[in-house]
Amino acid sequence: MFLLPHKNQRTLALAFSLLLGTGAALVSQPQCAAAAPAAKTASAAPARRAVTPGHPFSIQDKAENYHSTLDAAATKNLNAALARRIGGYGDSVPGLSVLIYRDGKEVYRNSMGNAFLSPNNAKWNLPVTSTTRFRVASLSKICTAIGIMQLVEQGKLDLDGDAGSYLGFRLRNPHYPSKVITPRMLLSHTSSLRDNGNNYIPASTSLRSFFASGRGFAGAGRAPGTYFSYCNSNYIVLGTILERLSGERFDRYMTNHVLAPLEIYGSFNMNDFSNADLAKLGANYRKPNGVRQPYVAAVDGRPIRLQPPAQRISTYQIGTNAALFGPQGNLRVSTVELSHLLQMFLNNGTYNGKQILRPVSVATMTKPVWTYNPSVPNGTIDEDNIEQYGLAMQYMSGKGTTKPAPNRPDFDLVGHFGEAYGFIGGLFWQPGTKNGFVFIQNGCATPEEDNPGRYSRSYRCEEDMLQPIIENAFPANTAKKGK
C-alpha cells in the first residue's frame, strides 16, 4: 500500500469513520488494500427507503444537502430529472450536486449519489454532499483569472502588455516573432499557445527553457490574437506571471487573496487539507475497461496521493513554472464553495460585504474577446464546443449552437464548464440578472465524446443538467427577473 506523506511528513492514514446520518460508520479504505475478511468488516448500514429519489444516504435528505423553495411541481420534476442521472450505464453519473440562485437568493440545493465508490466493499462508499470537495478541472481557471484581474487593479499588469516582459524572457510564437502575446490573449485562449494533447507544460522544467525550445506554439496561419483554441498552457503561464508580479507562490496567493475572502477553504494544494478533509474528498470516475465494467477512480481514488507532492514544493522556485499547482485545473472545492464564487459575480465583484473585484473588472472578464465566425473559421469550435469567450468566461447564446436549453432563445448564460478525468461541472449565470447555478458531476458511465448533445454542441451529460435546471428553476415567464 502506497501513502504519500502529509505536510509534516507523517504517513497519511485514510481509515476515518464518517458519521453519515444512518448511524453507520463508513470507512474510506485505500483502493489497493485487500478487503477485510467478512467476519471482521463493519456492520452494514441498515437498508433505508430514500425520502428523495437519488439519496442512498440519509445525510442527503438533511437540509444542508437538500431543500427547495421552488414550487412543488418544479421541485418534483427537477428532483426526478436529477435522480435519473445517477447510475452506471448510458450517460449516467456516480454522483452529483446542484445549487441554484434566483433573484440573488438560493432556491434549490440537492446532492445525490456517491462521492467515493469503494472497490472492496460498498459499506465504505461515501455520499456526495454540498460540502464534498472534488477536483473541479477548468472551473479553476476562473479563480486564476480573478487573481490576474486583481493585479490589473493594482496597476501591476496591463492586459494588453507584453506577457514576456512579466515573465522575464521573450515569449513569441516563432512563426510570428514580431507579434506580442498579451495577458488578454492568454486569458481568452487566443495567444497561439497550444497543448500537446493532454501533455501540458511539464512542471519539471522552467517556462523559460520550455519555450526556448520552440515547443508549445501553433503553426503558421494562427497568429496571436486571431484564432481561438482552448489551451491549458495559457493558464500555467498566467499562474507564473501572477507569482512573479505578486512575489507569492501561486497556491498561497490564491488562498490569501481569492479563496479565503470568498470563504472558500478548498485549495490548489492538497497539502493544505487536514487528514479528515482528505478522507472525505470525492473522487472523479471513468470506465477505462468498458462501459459495462465498474467505475474506476481517475482522480483522488484511494489511497490519496497528494498533489503537488510535498517534496516538490520544498524545492520549488517562485516564478519559474506554476504548473506544479495546476492553475488550469487543480482546485478542489465543493458546490457550496463554488456558490460563493457565483455570488461574487451576481453581486458585481462583492461577496458577503467584501469586494473581491471591482465592477469594471467583472465587466472586463465577462465581455467577449472572441466570437466564432463561420465564414472565416477563426477557432476550434468542433473541438471545444465554444462560440464566444471572454476572460475565463464562455458564452452560451440561446440562439446559438451551444444553446443552454431547447426552445429558449431568450435564455443566455455566461460562466464556465469544467471537464477532466470524468468530472463535468459548471458555474453559470444569466447576464443582467441575479439568476445562476453551480453543479458538479463526478464521472460519466460512457466517454463524453460518445454522448453528443441532443439539441446543442454540448455533451449530453451537460445538457442533462442544464435543461432540467433551466426549465424548472427559470421558466420563460421568470427568467428575466432578478435584475
Asked whether residue 56 carries a pLDDT value surpassing 80, the answer given is yes
Q: Is residue 48 part of a domain?
A: no
C-alpha cell at 444: 460519466
| CA 123 – CA 440 distance, rounded (Å) | 23
Which CATH number fits the domain that encloses residue 141? 3.40.710.10
Is there a single domain that holds both residue 176 and residue 108? no
Considering only residues 446 and 106, tell me which one the structure prediction assigns the higher pLDDT. 106
Asked whether residue 30 carries a pLDDT value surpassing 60, the answer given is no
Asked whether residue 439 carries a pLDDT value surpassing 70, the answer given is yes
Is there a single domain that holds both residue 312 and residue 196? yes
| Per-residue pLDDT reduced to its tens digit, 182-230 | 999 999 999 999 997 766 899 999 999 999 998 999 999 999 999 999 9
Q: Is residue 109 part of a domain?
A: yes
Q: Is residue 98 part of a domain?
A: yes
Residues 86, 112 contacting (CB under 8 angstroms)? yes
Is there a single domain that holds both residue 217 and residue 341? no
Q: Is residue 214 part of a domain?
A: yes
Is there a single domain that holds both residue 350 and residue 397? yes
Q: What percentage of the chain exceeds 70 in pLDDT?
A: 88
| CA 423 – CA 96 distance, rounded (Å) | 10
Is there a single domain that holds both residue 349 and residue 448? yes
Is there a single domain that holds both residue 107 and residue 236? no
Q: Strand pairing of 350-351 and 332-333?
A: unpaired
Please report the pLDDT score of residue 90 as a whole number. Answer: 87
Is there a single domain that holds both residue 345 and residue 459? yes
| CA 446 – CA 452 distance, rounded (Å) | 11
Confidence band of 440 (pLDDT split at 50, 70, 90): very high
| Per-residue pLDDT reduced to its tens digit, 326-338 | 999 999 999 999 9
Is there a single domain that holds both residue 257 and residue 180? yes
| Per-residue pLDDT reduced to its tens digit, 67-96 | 999 999 999 999 999 999 999 998 899 999
| CA 64 – CA 3 distance, rounded (Å) | 32
Residues 363, 357 contacting (CB under 8 angstroms)? no
Please report the pLDDT score of residue 449 as a whole number. Answer: 84
Is there a single domain that holds both residue 342 and residue 450? yes
Please report the pLDDT score of residue 51 as a whole number. Answer: 63
Domain count, the chain: 2
Is there a single domain that holds both residue 296 and residue 314? no
Is there a single domain that holds both residue 99 and residue 139? no
Burial class of residue 106 in the structure, from the number of CB atoms within 10 Å of its CB (0-12 exposed, 13-18 middle, 19+ buried): middle
Instruction: Specify the DSSP class assigned to residue 271.
Output: G
What value does the mean pLDDT take over residues 246-264?
Answer: 98
Q: Is residue 41 part of a domain?
A: no
- If one counts every other C-beta atom within 10 angstroms of the C-beta of residue 450, the result is 12
Closest CA to 425 of 455, 399, 459, 390: 459
| CA 186 – CA 474 distance, rounded (Å) | 34
Confidence band of 19 (pLDDT split at 50, 70, 90): very low
Please report the pLDDT score of residue 430 as a whole number. Answer: 98
Please report the pLDDT score of residue 234 as a whole number. Answer: 98
Asked whether residue 471 carries a pLDDT value surpassing 90, the answer given is yes
| Per-residue pLDDT reduced to its tens digit, 383-419 | 888 999 999 999 999 999 999 999 999 999 999 999 9
Please report the pLDDT score of residue 5 as a whole number. Answer: 36
Q: Is residue 1 part of a domain?
A: no
Q: Is residue 49 part of a domain?
A: no
Is there a single domain that holds both residue 72 and residue 86? yes
Closest CA to 462 of 372, 414, 411, 402: 402
What value does the mean pLDDT take over residues 295-314?
Answer: 96
Look at 83-92, 138-147, 180-189, 463-472 and tell me which has the smallest mean pLDDT.
83-92
- If one counts every other C-beta atom within 10 angstroms of the C-beta of residue 454, the result is 11
Confidence band of 52 (pLDDT split at 50, 70, 90): confident
Please report the pLDDT score of residue 404 as a whole number. Answer: 98
Residues 337, 36 contacting (CB under 8 angstroms)? no
Residues 6 or more apart in contact with residue 70 via CB below 8 angstroms: 78, 107, 108, 472, 473
Asked whether residue 26 carries a pLDDT value surpassing 60, the answer given is no
Q: Cα 457 to chain center, whole Å?
A: 19
| CA 325 – CA 321 distance, rounded (Å) | 9
- If one counts every other C-beta atom within 10 angstroms of the C-beta of residue 380, the result is 17
Q: Is residue 123 part of a domain?
A: yes
What value does the mean pLDDT take over residues 111-131?
Answer: 95
Confidence band of 36 (pLDDT split at 50, 70, 90): very low
Its domain, for residue 120, covers: 67-132+275-303+334-473
Asked whether residue 32 carries a pLDDT value surpassing 80, the answer given is no
